[in-house]
Amino acid sequence: MLDFLEFYKIMNRIFRLKGNIIKIKFSVEEKSLQAYVPVDELWGSIKDILLNRIYEYIPNFQINNLKGFTVIDAGAHVGLYSLIVANYAEKVLSIEPHPINYRLLKINKAVNHKKNIETINAAIVGEKYDVITLFENEHSGGSSIFPKKPMKFYEVNSITLGQIVDNCIDSDKVLLKMDIEGAEFGVFETIDKRTLRNIQLMVMELHLNYGSMLKLINTLKSAKFKVIYFYPPLLTKNVKTRIKVKDLTFLKILRLISHSMTQLLDVRDRRLVILYAWR
């Protein structure tokens, strides 16, 4: 059976031209958008957020159902999810620690005139530090507070989820989307019940090499959340809100072929989980 990691590496060899920035154009319903994205995210966030819609796999989480919500986009990268959800949410908090990704996030906010997006340049952590070390990864979306091997690093500001909820949230309808490369376990080890009570929906990527999924799920269930999770790849179908990505025909064809192959061969990434929680 083909290992998912090897399959992913094959796809990245096809697409990855690390260091370049591309401009992509897309629309949410009839609203035209554009974004500057590192090209190494063709087989990452561009595919996952705009084409496969992995954060909308459960109907409650589809972006058209988020009217009136405040969305916390923790690990926003360059803001693709923030841009699409900002068309419906009342407010979006886009939090990204990596300095280059953060610059692109601010550019993407500006060129799309998204005044309801507020950007924060910080790493989300469980325990507050003045600064924390952020290590680069082989691709632009993989920077983490956990070093995998000697890599370039940055000293960045940190913030806790409790601080975000206390200081930036004034809504009783909150969705947390989180992709913070393993730091999610530290966040939920130290989270208090008051912070959890202020969040109604969560969709998270859990990087299973860095903590206990069972412990995190128990924390959520103790706060009265219902929980379901899936091993990727995911492909959301029958989404009411249409996202149309211009060009990138090769990517669109290859991702459908790859999804068919992974379904046929029952290939799953067992290092990663997409978790949904709601109440």
How far is the C-alpha of 174 from the C-alpha of 195, rounded, in Å? 11
- Tokens 């309801």: give the residue: 116
pLDDT at 198: 95
How far, in Å, CA of 186 to CA of 216, rounded?
Answer: 10
* Helix, strand, or coil (residue 21): strand
CA angle 186, 210, 105 (to 5 degrees): 70
CA distance 44 to 204: 15
31: its two tokens: 């609203």
Q: What is the pLDDT of residue 18?
A: 55
| The pair of three-digit structure tokens given for residue 253, joined into one six-digit string | 């064809």
pLDDT score at 15: 53
Q: What is the pLDDT of residue 7?
A: 53
pLDDT at position 139: 81
What does the pLDDT read at residue 174? 97
For residue 251, give the CATH number of its domain.
3.40.50.150
CB-CB contact of 37 with 80 (8 Å): yes
Q: Which domain holds residue 216?
A: 4-278
How many domains does the structure of the chain reveal?
1
Answer positive or negative: Cα dihedral of 100, 40, 143, 45: positive
**Average pLDDT per 10 consecutive residues for the chain, totaling 279 residues:** 50 58 95 95 94 96 96 98 98 97 97 98 92 90 86 93 93 95 96 95 97 97 97 90 94 90 85 96
Q: Cα–Cα distance between 149 and 244 in angstroms, integer?
A: 38
Question: CB within 8 A of 226, min separation 6: which ones?
Answer: 277, 278, 279
